[in-house]
Amino acid sequence: MNNQLKQLYYQDLNLWRQKIITAIQNRKLENMDWDNLIEEINDMGASEKRALRSYTKRLIEHILKLKYWKSEREYNQRGWKKEVVNFREEIKSILQESPSLNSYLQQNYLDWHQKSVKAMHQEFTIPDDSFVDLEIIMTDDYFGEI
């Protein structure tokens, strides 16, 4: 069955997952497709990290818009604030499900902030002292107030 599972992995990933789950539930570990299972578990972790990075960068970008994009603020601030709330909640959900990713967030936050500033600087002027601490940006009622 191991060769069948390996072939199934490339033919129908969802059916492969169902068969792997059934094999684990029935403790039939001799029939396991270990290599692809390990790859799938690694991919899950990478996916969580990508989502955390993406939501964090979008949060930073929207805070920057609220703080510095004066010409667009009045018209767009309601939508930007809604996005800030959504991004913050997604980040919190990821960290609640995988608390160990908190250290990953803390280790990479400065880099993500710098990249977000660089991207947003293409649309509007951002001062050199635009850095917002992670703790502040994750505060529920913070929307870029100066």
Residue 138 DSSP class: T
Same domain (yes/no): 66, 119: yes
37 within a domain of the structure (yes/no): no
- Tell me how many domains the chain contains: 2
Residues 90 and 124 in one domain: yes
Give yes or no: residues 6 and 54 share one domain: no
- Same domain for 54 and 19: no
Cα–Cα distance for residue pair 71/101, rounded to 1 Å: 36
Say what angle helices 13-25 and 2-11 make with each other, to 10 degrees: 140
Question: In degrees, to the nearest 5, what angle opens at C-alpha 20 toward C-alphas 19 and 23?
Answer: 85
Are residues 51 and 26 part of one domain? no
- Domain assignment of residue 38, yes or no: no
| Residues 27 and 67 grouped into a single domain | no
In a domain, 56, yes or no: yes
Residue 143 inside a domain? The answer is: no
Instruction: List, for residues 128-146, the tens digit of each pLDDT value.
Output: 999 999 999 999 999 998 5
Residues 96 and 57 in one domain: yes
- The pLDDT confidence band at residue 86, using thresholds 50, 70 and 90, is very high
pLDDT tens, position by position, 35-69? 889 888 888 878 999 999 999 999 999 999 999 99
Structural domain that includes position 95: 45-137
- pLDDT, tens only, 22-39: 989 989 888 788 888 988
The answer on 63 and 106 residing in a single domain is yes
